[in-house]
């Protein structure tokens, strides 16, 4: 039988270790004003099966983002922090949200913008320290669209990937490549020009 005292000690050590990793992540990303990377996104749903897409993501504080899918329907999600554009090249439609909050945003974007305050936004558990760090995150706020997030970082805390589980148990797995922290980028990157012949729909 394993002594209770030993089990408590192991749990306490794990909590201390997780706190140290979280502090290191927050310190690193507190100085990062922008992130640029390539990504592969795999979505697994009980209803729709598996879908694989890839593209480029650019993020800049405060609240600016551009997700550009280079495969599939050629979708784009672009916001300058005030207006959100959700564009489908295949449908030749773009939904314009003048209230970014009303657009629902992106859970992945929200996470990446929150890496400097992980402990404030999430309950964090350290799952692994092999070849880097794997963290399990659960939102502290209630009624969030995401139930859990698994965040994977390399030994220097640079993003490698993440998996989001939503309320329907749909898993969205993102694997990042060529990650550039603090990449120089103009605010113009986060502006959207409506292509000719594309229908604009008011989304709120």
Confidence of residue 188 (pLDDT cuts 50, 70, 90): very high
In this structure, of 1-15, 103-117, 141-155, the range with the lowest mean pLDDT score is 1-15
Distance in angstroms (rounded) separating the CA atoms of residues 110 and 125: 19
Tell me what pLDDT residue 143 has. 81
Distance in angstroms (rounded) separating the CA atoms of residues 97 and 100: 6
Distance in angstroms (rounded) separating the CA atoms of residues 167 and 189: 32
Distance in angstroms (rounded) separating the CA atoms of residues 66 and 76: 7
Q: How many CB atoms lie within 10 A of CB 188?
A: 7
pLDDT at 8 over 70: no
Domains and CATH numbers, the chain: 4-202 (2.50.20.10)
C-beta of residue 63 within 8 angstroms of C-beta of residue 79: yes
Tell me what pLDDT residue 104 has. 54
Q: Parallel, antiparallel, or unpaired for β 171-181 and 34-45?
A: antiparallel
Confidence of residue 86 (pLDDT cuts 50, 70, 90): very high
C-beta of residue 44 within 8 angstroms of C-beta of residue 50: yes
pLDDT at 67 over 50: yes
Using only C-alpha atoms, the chain has a radius of gyration, in whole angstroms, of 19
């Amino acid at each position: 039988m394993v002594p209770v005292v030993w089990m408590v000690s192991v749990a306490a050590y794990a909590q201390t270790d997780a706190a140290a990793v979280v502090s290191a992540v927050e310190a690193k990303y507190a100085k990062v004003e922008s992130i640029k990377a390539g990504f592969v996104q795999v979505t697994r749903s009980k209803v729709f099966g598996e879908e694989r897409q890839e593209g480029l993501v650019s993020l800049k504080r405060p609240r600016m983002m551009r997700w550009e899918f280079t495969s599939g329907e050629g979708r784009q999600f672009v916001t300058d922090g005030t207006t959100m554009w959700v564009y489908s090249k295949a449908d030749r439609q773009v939904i314009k949200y003048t209230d970014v909050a009303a657009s629902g945003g992106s859970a992945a974007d929200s996470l990446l913008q929150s890496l400097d305050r992980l402990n404030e936004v999430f309950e964090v558990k350290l799952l692994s320290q092999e070849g880097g760090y794997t963290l399990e995150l659960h939102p502290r706020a209630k009624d969030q669209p995401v139930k859990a997030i698994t965040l994977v970082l390399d030994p220097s805390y640079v993003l490698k990937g993440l998996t989001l589980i939503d309320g329907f148990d749909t898993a969205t797995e993102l694997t990042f490549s060529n990650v550039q922290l603090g990449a120089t980028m103009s605010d113009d990157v986060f502006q959207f020009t409506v292509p000719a012949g594309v229908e604009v729909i008011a989304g709120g």
